[in-house]
Amino acid sequence: MKLTSYWLDTAPPFSGASKEPVAGKADVVVIGAGLTGASAALALAKKGARVVVCEAETVGNAASGRNGGMCNNGFAQDYAAMSAKLGRERATQLYHSFDAGVDLVERLVREEGIDCSFARTGKLKLAAKPEHFDKLRRTQELLAAEADPQTRIVSPADLPAELGSRRYFGGMIFEKSAGMHVGRFVTGLAEAAARRGAQFHQHTPVVGLRRASGGGHEVVTPRGRLHADQVLIASGISGVGPLGWFRRRIVPVGAFIIVTEPLGVDVLDRILPRRRMATDTKNLVNYFRVTPDNRLLFGGRARFAVSNPRSDLKSGVILQRALAEVFPELAKVRIDYCWGGMVDMTRDRLPRAGERNGVHYSMGYSGHGTQMSTYMGAVMAEVMGGRPELNPWKDFDWPAIPGHFGPPWFLPLVGAWYRLQDRLH
């Protein structure tokens, strides 16, 4: 079993790393070479900007290459609750921004010729309890009327046509959702940006960032300094550099995944005959899907803990038990990959993007970042070009999380609370 991301292990290495020194001037310096940074670099380079991307590790190494490869539309939260909180018009507008994210991913895959097995298989949201199905049914009625007629309910009686498991009590289908090989996608996105002139410096963390006396920003790395007219922070939960203001507003939560050995088509036809992206309604969510080479990926927030090799192994054991509960016939299947990654959570599980002290940022995707990060990279390229009205998150305040100054000491307490909620509701 490999303790590494299946997506990163089976994607080609990024070949567009710059051989230029980290020095001189740039129109825009992008901090972070995940999906947000690569998408922004591509959009900016297409506009003729001189773009430099500084990445502390390698392209896609963090959350962008460690997720489930699901490109799903729809909120993490209940649409009805979002409508009650934000108003129907605003909730619908934000819902459609997730739709636009999936559309953009599909368009970039086509336009840039990215070989990442993108397919609109749809998402199946599964009711973990009978009462959850009633809530899904009410939500779908509202969604179909207000925001997304391409959703539909799957009754408990009809669920066997979608899923070979007795663990769930019906579900809801989001037809617009898709899946892909996210490792190949993020690499392909960065390669496309590099072809258009964007410079990518890997193993180049930004350790200093300050206003330059003559205007713009001075960006400091261990390999040199840059002057940038504009800066975009696209680094999510990075623990490197002068990003303390952002760290007080984001909770890094571990997400853990296992991937099985390749399975026979007959097995896959029994357990996921339509090859949907699948997720359930628990707070400690489980999600699963079929990979392009016929493995089953099974993930979730097995533990509220940070990701490291020991933590990943512990979480992998929990996920294997959950896998056997959902699909008993896979109880003895070999597990070939087990890994973790850190999700950048906000308190309300909605992204944040904007400008602070002259520095632009986009982050906080809260586990739904594959499509939204790609979308917001392109949006922030427009915002930095003078169109702030295009930012769907521009009016959201972002107070610091009380008691949060760095390491998330409170994660075990949060996990215990969510486990209790899953038992009670």
- The answer on pLDDT for 413 being more than 70 is no
CATH 3.40.190.10 fits 6-415, yes or no: no
Q: What pLDDT, on the 0 to 100 scale, is given for residue 47?
A: 97
| Percentage, residues of the chain above pLDDT 90 | 80
Confidence of residue 333 (pLDDT cuts 50, 70, 90): very high
Lowest mean pLDDT among 52-56, 207-211, 305-309: 305-309
Domain spans in the chain, listed from the N-terminal domain onward: 6-415
Confidence of residue 310 (pLDDT cuts 50, 70, 90): confident
Average pLDDT, the chain: 93
Q: What pLDDT, on the 0 to 100 scale, is given for residue 236?
A: 79
pLDDT in tens, 117-164: 999 999 999 999 999 999 999 999 999 999 999 999 999 999 999 999
- The answer on pLDDT for 415 being more than 70 is no
- The answer on pLDDT for 101 being more than 70 is yes
Q: What pLDDT, on the 0 to 100 scale, is given for residue 420?
A: 67
Q: Report which of residues 282 and 17 the model is more confident about.
A: 17
pLDDT in tens, 219-263: 999 999 999 999 999 997 777 778 889 988 998 888 899 999 999
Confidence of residue 68 (pLDDT cuts 50, 70, 90): very high
Q: Report which of residues 36 and 416 the model is more confident about.
A: 36
Q: What pLDDT, on the 0 to 100 scale, is given for residue 226?
A: 97
Helix orientation angle between 79-86 and 130-146, rounded to the nearest 10 degrees: 60
- The answer on pLDDT for 406 being more than 80 is no
Q: Report which of residues 45 and 412 the model is more confident about.
A: 45
Confidence of residue 108 (pLDDT cuts 50, 70, 90): very high
